[in-house]
Amino acid sequence: MKSNDGYKYGVDDLPPLRHLLVLSVQHLMLMFMSLGLPILFCGQIGASREVTASVISFSMLAAGIGSVLQSLRLRYLGSGYLCPNVCGPSYFSLSLSAAWIGGIPLMRGMIIFAGLVEMILAPLVRKLKRIFPPYVVGLVVAMVGVSIIKTSVSSMFGLRFHGDSVSGTDILTGFFTLLVMVFSNVWGKGFLKMYCLLVGIVAGWLFAALLMPGYDISAAALGKVPFFAFPSMPWGMSNISFDPGMMIPFLVIAVSGSLKSFGNLLASQKISRPELERVDFRPIRNGLLTDGLSTSLAGFMGAMAVDTSSSNVGLAGSTGVLSRWIATTAGILFSLFAFFPRFTLFVSHMPRPVLGASIVFAGCFMVMAGFREMFHEYWDQKRTFVVGIALFMGLSTAILPELYARTPGFMRTFFTDPLPTATIVAVVMNLLLDLDRFFRRQESNSPR
Stretch 239-244: mean pLDDT: 90
* 54 part of a folded domain: yes
Query: What was the pLDDT predicted at 184?
Result: 93
Distance CA 439, CA 445 (A): 10
Range of the structural domain that residue 270 is part of: 17-236+243-377
Give per-residue pLDDT as tens, 54-77. 888 999 999 999 999 999 999 999
The lowest-confidence range among 9-13, 58-62, 137-141, 327-331 is 137-141
- Is residue 445 one of the residues assigned to a domain? no
Sorting pLDDT into bands at 50, 70 and 90, what band is 4? Answer: very low
- Closest to 148 (Cα-Cα) out of 94, 200, 199, 88: 88
pLDDT at 448 over 60: no
Burial 190-212 (b: 16+ CB within 10 A, else e): eeebbbbbbbbbebbbebbeebb
Domain count, the chain: 1
pLDDT surpassing 50 at residue 431: yes
Per-position DSSP letters for 103-169, written without gaps between them:
HHHHHHHHHHHHHHHHHHHGGGGGGGGGG--HHHHHHHHHHHHHTTHHHHHHHHTT--STTPPPPHH
Q: For residue 5, what pLDDT is reported?
A: 44
CB 57 within 8 A of CB 231: yes
Sign of CA dihedral 302, 307, 310, 313: positive
Rounded distance between C-alpha atoms, residue 267 and residue 319, angstroms: 15
pLDDT of residue 1: 46
- Give the Cα separation of 116 and 106 in Å (integer): 15
Q: What pLDDT, on a 0 to 100 scale, did the predictor assign at position 301?
A: 92
Residue 86 lies in a domain: yes
Burial class (CB in 10 A: 0-12, 13-18, 19+), 4: exposed
- pTM value is 0.79
Question: Residues 15-39: pLDDT tens digits?
Answer: 999 999 999 999 998 898 788 778 7
Q: What is the mean pLDDT of residues 124-139?
A: 78
Nearest to 128 by CA among 291, 258, 313: 258
- pLDDT digits over 76-109, tens only? 999 999 999 998 777 887 788 888 889 899 999 9
417: in domain: no
Q: Using a pLDDT cut of 90, give the percent of the chain over it.
A: 37
Q: Report the candidate in 366, 124, 103, 381 with the shortest Cα–Cα distance to residue 258.
A: 124
> Is residue 443 predicted with pLDDT exceeding 90?
no
State the pLDDT at residue 2: 46
Mean pLDDT of the chain: 85
Examine residue 211 and state whether it is found in any structural domain, yes or no. Answer: yes
**Position 215 confidence tier, pLDDT thresholds 50, 70, 90:** low
- Per-residue pLDDT tens over the stretch 255-304: 878 878 888 998 899 899 988 888 899 999 999 999 999 999 999 999 99
Alpha helix stretches (DSSP H) within 233-323: 247-272, 281-301, 310-319
Which range has the worst mean pLDDT, 145-154, 199-208, 263-272, 330-339? 145-154
Pair type for strands 306-308 and 85-87: antiparallel
Is residue 384 included in any domain, yes or no? no
pLDDT in tens, 217-231: 655 556 677 888 888
Q: At what angle do helices 324-337 and 49-71 cross, to 10 degrees?
A: 160
User: b vs e for 379-415, b when ≥16 Cβ sit within 10 Å of the residue's Cβ?
Assistant: eeebbeebbeebbebbbbbeeeeeebeeeeeeeebbb
Please determine, for residue 328, whether its predicted confidence score (pLDDT) is greater than 50: yes
- Give the CA-trace dihedral at 117, 301, 90, 243, to 10 degrees: 60
Residue at 4 is within a domain: no
What local confidence, expressed as pLDDT, does residue 341 receive?
83
How does pLDDT run across 374-404, given as a tens digit for each residue?
A: 887 788 899 999 999 999 998 998 888 888 8
C-alpha 137 chain-centroid distance: 17
Residue 398 covered by a domain: no
